[in-house]
Amino acid sequence: MGALPEKEEVTAAPKARALAKKLGIDLAKVSGTGPGAMVTEADVKAASEGKAAVPAPPIPVEAPRPEARPEEKAEARPAGQDKYGEIERIPIRGVRKAIAKNLIASQKTAAFVTGMDDADVTELWALRKREAKVAKEKGVHLTFLPFFMKAAQHALAAYPSVNASVDEKAEEIVVKKYYNIGVAVDTPEGLMVSVVKNVEKKTILDLAMELQELSIKARDRKITLEELKGSTFTISNYGTFGGTYATPIINYPNIAILGTGKISERPWVVDGSIAVRKILPISFTFDHRIIDGADAARFVNRVISYLEDPGRIFIESA
């Protein structure tokens, strides 16, 4: 004789089971209207009254809408607007695209470190003021930048490892024996780095004249590609726009950049006494893969020494 088939287990809510037991209802004979045909308390009550419970209506499910085509999405709101208000879209191309590409390459390659310091340029301030009259007679507007360039060039000569680039493929440091200093120039297209070649062979006035010419060319969009190439070191003189300290990005493939801020009057200790002096904020970003922190500090101190004692920088001799 075969074994009797097992009685199929009925799915029922706990309250439904309790009520069925109380009323003597066989759950196996009750049609469930709950999820997955589960017997509910209402089903048991209906069975005791000889009625069939009415199943709850299914929850309506909204049919998925077809994905809008790209052109339909673009037409969802007027051009020049997002959901918050009016916008303007400016294509990244031309000079701006080239600038972005170079800055990204620099940040992806170099190990950036920035140090900040100050220089007492009170004497330099007075010197430039005097020599500006001489320059004006020659049709030249003499700013502080030629002095910064000459100070940097002398410091680079003392610390040649800063005047270098990296040959990534050959894994070599390429030390340059010439001094081509790039200078960031503000133009309608963005910052351009104009390059003054062979700074070591030029006087302060030579540099001032060349900077003046390059600046005009850059702003008039007449500068040549050759005048934007070949830098061995860069100076960003953001003090012209009121900035103080910054973390300037290295102009790849250079391995360092000097940032000069706005000169302002500050209290300063001179020979044990407080005096009001002209102070220049300095920021120096370098590639720590190539330049050690100690050498970076020595280089900046050398630059400061020239700026604080400008008599060491000759006005009309290279």
Instruction: Quote the pLDDT of residue 50.
Output: 72
> Which CATH number covers residue 243?
3.30.559.10
> Which CATH number covers residue 37?
4.10.320.10
Q: Can you read off the two tokens belonging to residue 249?
A: 């990005």
Residue span of the structural domain in which 206 resides: 112-312
CA-CA distances (angstroms) from residue 175 to 91, 162, 169, 200?
38, 8, 16, 16
Report the alpha-carbon distance of residue 63 to residue 41 in Å, rounded. 32
What does the pLDDT look like over 192-222, one tens digit per residue? 899 999 999 999 999 999 999 999 998 888 8
What does the pLDDT look like over 142-178, one tens digit per residue? 999 999 999 999 999 999 999 999 999 999 999 999 9
Examine the domain organization and report whether 36 and 136 are in the same domain.
no
Q: Is residue 65 part of a domain?
A: no
Q: Is residue 103 part of a domain?
A: no
Q: Is residue 228 part of a domain?
A: yes
What does the pLDDT look like over 29-47, one tens digit per residue? 777 777 767 778 887 788 7
How many Cβ atoms sit within 10 Å of the Cβ of residue 232? 26
Strands 85-86 and 81-82: antiparallel
Report the alpha-carbon distance of residue 232 to residue 122 in Å, rounded. 29
CA nearest to 282, candidates 267, 309, 269, 263: 263
Q: Is residue 265 part of a domain?
A: yes
Q: Is residue 39 part of a domain?
A: yes
**Long-range contacts of 227-232, Cβ-Cβ distance < 8 Å, separation of 24 or more:** 227/194, 227/195, 228/192, 228/193, 228/194, 228/195, 229/195, 230/180, 230/195, 230/197, 231/180, 231/181, 231/182, 231/193, 231/195, 232/156, 232/163, 232/164, 232/165, 232/176, 232/178, 232/179, 232/180, 232/181
Active-site positions read: 288
Q: Whats the size of the chain, residue-wise?
A: 318
Instruction: Quote the pLDDT of residue 259.
Output: 97
Q: Whole-prediction pTM value?
A: 0.71
CA nearest to 200, candidates 168, 158, 238, 236: 158
Examine the domain organization and report whether 266 and 132 are in the same domain.
yes
Examine the domain organization and report whether 154 and 35 are in the same domain.
no
Examine the domain organization and report whether 40 and 171 are in the same domain.
no
What does the pLDDT look like over 240-294, one tens digit per residue? 999 999 999 999 899 999 999 999 999 999 999 999 999 999 999 999 999 999 9
Domain count, the chain: 2
Q: Is residue 119 part of a domain?
A: yes
Instruction: Quote the pLDDT of residue 308.
Output: 96
How many Cβ atoms sit within 10 Å of the Cβ of residue 269? 10
Instruction: Quote the pLDDT of residue 244.
Output: 95
Instruction: Quote the pLDDT of residue 66.
Output: 60
Band (234; pLDDT cuts 50, 70, 90): very high
